[in-house]
Amino acid sequence: MIVAGCDIGSLSAKAVFMEGDTIIGSGVMRAGIHPAESAKQVMKLVADNAGLSLTNIGRVVATGYGKEMIPFADAMESEIVCHATGAFWNQPEVRTVIDIGGQDAKAIRMDEHGKIIRYLYNDKCASGTGRFLEVMGEALEVKLEEMGKISGQSTEKITISNQCVIFAETEVVSLVNEGKPIPDILCGLHHAMASRVASLALSIGVEDRVIMTGGVAKNSGLFAALSTSLKKTLHPMKDIDPQITGALGAALIASRMGGK
């Protein structure tokens, strides 16, 4: 039976199709303002790429910010459970998962069976989220996918003192006007954001192995900064896009639930 996980976040829509224990298709696209439409589009994208029809899907589990708006979902599950499930399937030795989404950051601690012991998330402030990076990228006229590479060229440490997105943006503009190099500013932003996320994770206890999930995990600058802040080796997902981890977890849950 073919099953699917559909993860509709505030910034991106993701879907994963599985048959048995094998991923047979996945996709990521920008989310629109209507979660239901974003869900339909990303599911169709994956189906078309896999040469399938949506009628081939036996069960769909939804997760993410827009999960309650997906009309064709058979069940819903929290992002916490889905990211933990996806990460544990990918690397059973994982004990801590850190996910930075578009509008929140999550820290999850698990036992050797993949059972969630503790978790904590911040959805009250954008400073530790993907939205923070998006706003700063717009201010610096740097694309999100280029931030990691550019920050790697930094030669001078700059401290970004403001945690609030609005004030941090003003501080960044001031640094640009002072003639500070963009790589140094980006590196400072990554370390400021990493410090906030690390504080969240450390409050529940960080145990090896630590995996970072979500689209922000593809930012090498933040990935390195978070490793430094945690004082732990941070591991990437193996052989899959970290951005689809939540959708993967949802698909695994759909598979374990069986058919309709």
CATH number at 259 reads 3.30.420.40
Residues 225 and 258 in one domain: no
Give the pLDDT of residue 126: 67
- List, in order, residues 6 or more apart from 139 with CB less than 8 Å away: 169, 172, 173, 176
Outline where the chain has alpha helix (H).
Answer: 35-50, 79-90, 130-140, 147-151, 165-177, 182-202, 220-230, 245-257
Do 97 and 221 fall within a single domain? Answer: yes
CA distance 69 to 227: 36
Q: Are residues 30 and 100 in the same domain?
A: no
Q: With pLDDT > 70 as the criterion, what percentage of the chain qualifies?
A: 97
Tens-digit pLDDT profile for residues 138-157? 999 999 999 999 999 999 98
Residue 79 and residue 66 share a domain: yes
pLDDT digits (tens, 9 = 90+) for 220-257: 999 999 999 999 999 999 999 999 999 999 999 999 99
What pLDDT, on a 0 to 100 scale, did the predictor assign at position 161?
85
Tell me, yes or no, whether 18 and 104 share the same domain.
no
Give residue 94's identity as a one-letter amino acid code: V
Distance separating alpha carbons of residues 202 and 193, to the nearest angstrom = 14
Domains identified in the chain, total number: 2
Q: At what angle do helices 130-140 and 165-177 cross, to 10 degrees?
A: 30
214 & 133 share domain: yes
Do 125 and 228 reside in the same domain of the chain? Answer: yes
What pLDDT score does 258 carry?
57
Cβ neighbors of 191 (< 8 A, separation 6 or more) are 159, 160, 225, 228, 229
> Are residues 104 and 183 part of one domain?
yes
Domain that holds residue 123: 93-236
Low-confidence ranges of the chain (pLDDT < 50): 259
DSSP assigned state of 20: T
| Residue matched to tokens 């949506």 | 54
Cα(244)–Cα(100) distance, integer angstroms: 12
Tell me what pLDDT residue 124 has: 63
